[in-house]
Amino acid sequence: MATPAHGLTHALTIDVEEYFQVAAFESRILRQHWENLPSRVADSTRRILDLLARHEAHATFFVLGWVARREPALIRQIVAAGHELASHGMEHIQVTRQSPAAFLADATESRLILEQTGGVRVRGYRASTYSIGQANAWAFAQLAAAGYDYSSSVYPIRHDLYGWPEAPRTPFWPSGATGVGIVEIPVATLDLFGRRYPCGGGGFFRLYPYRVSRWAWQRLQHREGQAGVFYFHPWELDAGQPRVAGLGWKSRFRHYLNLTRMETRITTLLRDFRWDRMDRVFAEVIGARS
């Protein structure tokens, strides 16, 4: 096994949701049908747990409250393996579609369900589809009120579905949320000649050859000397998931591209760099509450 080239430890995060809960499928698989669909997330998440155990790595699992209700044993297994349990909201509704009051209720309910199921304190929150941006930065104060210590809900890039390109690339205390003690820890991006590129996971990681990601993360380590946040989903390792009919080409391409290569790529990523839970990698910023 190759030794990680640098002493930096990065944060590995997994957004635990079913394949049919992604935003791109919402017009094809209606909410009222979710309960009738067989779960695939538990098996895929257990594969990830095995993978992490083999590499002695720990991660943060941002889990939907909906999944925690359906798969309580999985939640306990995540906690028992030494990973951090965090919230991905109740039902994967983008924050941009929620009122401040509804968002507060949703964030609070998911935290309570996860804490009751996992038996641990939940400190972190990730918004569905990175749906916190400049227009709804009120969400940070709601997250603090809902009992969270940190958020990792901003992708500070320009993208057609999400992104807050003007946001800092490194942990920041959102204005308006100072004094309520919540820090935002954005997903990793690469700054190249003044332009930002995504390198924190998702479609980017599956689209380009692995060496592009390795180069990006090595550059983050050596040039910037900062810990980054990487994310992926259990459904990205589930090449056997049922194919959803009637999707546009873009959604189809983004969702199904290179699913069979994902496990090998994650394995290589685990070997090439050092990874840990968000609450440990960013202990200083999360702890430094104003």
Binding site for Zn ion (CB under 5 A): 15, 17
Rounded Cα distance between 71 and 195, Å, is 41
Complex with Zn ion: residue 18 or 220, whichever CB lies closer: 18
CA distances from 115 to 43, 84, 90, 118 (A): 22, 11, 13, 5
Minimum distance, C-beta of residue 15 to Zn ion, in the bound complex (Å): 4
Give the CA count within 13 Å in the CB-facing half-sphere of 41: 28
Minimum distance, C-beta of residue 107 to Zn ion, in the bound complex (Å): 14
Measured distance between the N- and C-terminal CA atoms of the chain, rounded to whole angstroms: 42
**Helix or strand holding residue 143 (H, E):** helix 139-145
Complex with Zn ion: residue 25 or 215, whichever CB lies closer: 25
Length of the chain: 290
Complex with Zn ion: residue 15 or 184, whichever CB lies closer: 15
Minimum distance, C-beta of residue 91 to Zn ion, in the bound complex (Å): 11
Complex with Zn ion: residue 17 or 279, whichever CB lies closer: 17
Q: Which residues pair with 19 in a beta bridge?
A: none
Complex with Zn ion: residue 15 or 149, whichever CB lies closer: 15
Nearest residue to Zn ion on Cβ basis: 15
Minimum distance, C-beta of residue 6 to Zn ion, in the bound complex (Å): 29
Q: What is the dihedral sign for C-alpha 30, 44, 153, 215?
A: negative
Minimum distance, C-beta of residue 288 to Zn ion, in the bound complex (Å): 28
